[in-house]
Structure 1
Amino acid sequence: MWNETHKMIDPEIALTVTCVRVPVMVGHSESVNIEFHEPLDEDEARDLLRNSPGLIVIDQRNDKGYITPKEAQGEFPVFVSRIRRDPTVENGLNMWVVADNLRKGAALNAVQIAQLLDERGLIGAR
């Protein structure tokens, strides 16, 4: 899409695209666009995400270098792929995020957030 748009319309156009095949039986997939106050390059973002609990980064520049909803099916972590600069905004990044909504859904998230709050002493008996 990116190459064709630049070829057919204007090579200078600011454009960000993510192509996705659907449908899926299980899972959530998101094309996430983030704009930061300060610059954050792709390698820094990968390092930060790799050190975040509950996330797995699968980000290689080849045909099999990203995760699909089918591959995330039955898994508990959230997978992050296709981390790249977003040329349409200052200090922007795009990424592809996939999770099995039956494994890593609302109930598990609520329990994990409560555990984290308890570990930090932010909730408990009064």
Structure 2
Amino acid sequence: WNQTKAIYGLGDARPKLFPKQIAFNVIPYIGSFLDDGYTDEEAKMWNEVHKIMDPSIKLTVTCVRVPVFVGHSESVNLEFDRPISPDEARALLRDAPGVMVIDKQEHDGYITPVDAAGEHAVYVSRIRKDPTVENGLSLWVVSDNLRKGAALNAVQIAQLLDETGIIKPASGYRSITV
């Protein structure tokens, strides 16, 4: 915000918080560099995907700092064991709890971080074939990181564990719905 004001007001826009100018820019680095050239933020994404989904999933990640006030965005390329069409993926994602598919092939048929701000859903757009792999899809995913980040996910996981009976309230306590 301060750099933007400085650029428009012909003030001092030299970086103070980030290593390079962030206003009207994109920085392909978040966190600290590791010995392999990736960053600790990228390693955190690998670890989370492996922990949540499957430790054998292969992925590569480049975390990018983009000057938005709220939001996480991901450009995701997926490879499947069998063919899957974009229409089939849209249908599956529309049935996934907490996911909203906004995917029209027109100039405003996708979601941006500004659109997702203040919302609890994870939005998926731009679902299309990835021609670089046999059974691949590419998609765009956006969410409000302040709402759908750690806190809401933790509550939703706890609710699911409670509903499925995996965890039980201690005696003297009752479960609550948030």
* Superposition TM-score, scaled by structure 2 size: 0.57
Partner of residue 45, structure 1: 89
For 1:83 and 1:108, locate their aligned partners in 2 and report how far apart those are by CA, in whole Å. Answer: 25
In structure 2, runs of 5+ residues without a counterpart are: 1-65, 171-178
Deviates more, 1:110-119 or 1:78-87: 110-119
CA RMSD of aligned residues (A): 1.2
Partner of residue 150, structure 2: 106
- Encode CA deviations 1:79-99: one digit per residue, 9 max, x unaligned: 000000101111111110000
Matching residue's letter, 1:50: R
Q: Aligned ranges for residues 56-71 of structure 1 at < 5 Å?
A: 56-71=100-115
For 1:73 and 1:24, locate their aligned partners in 2 and report how far apart those are by CA, in whole Å. Answer: 10
* Superposition TM-score, scaled by structure 1 size: 0.79
Q: Aligned ranges for residues 1-126 of structure 1 at < 5 Å?
A: 22-125=66-169
For 2:79 and 2:162, locate their aligned partners in 1 and report how far apart those are by CA, in whole Å. Answer: 31
Give the match's secondary structure for 2:129: strand
For 2:77 and 2:110, locate their aligned partners in 1 and report how far apart those are by CA, in whole Å. Answer: 17
Q: Percent identity?
A: 70
In structure 1, runs of 5+ residues without a counterpart are: 1-21
Give the match's secondary structure for 2:97: coil
| Length, aligned pairs only | 105
- Quote the offset at 1:125 in angstroms: 4.7
Q: Which has the larger radius of gyration?
A: 2
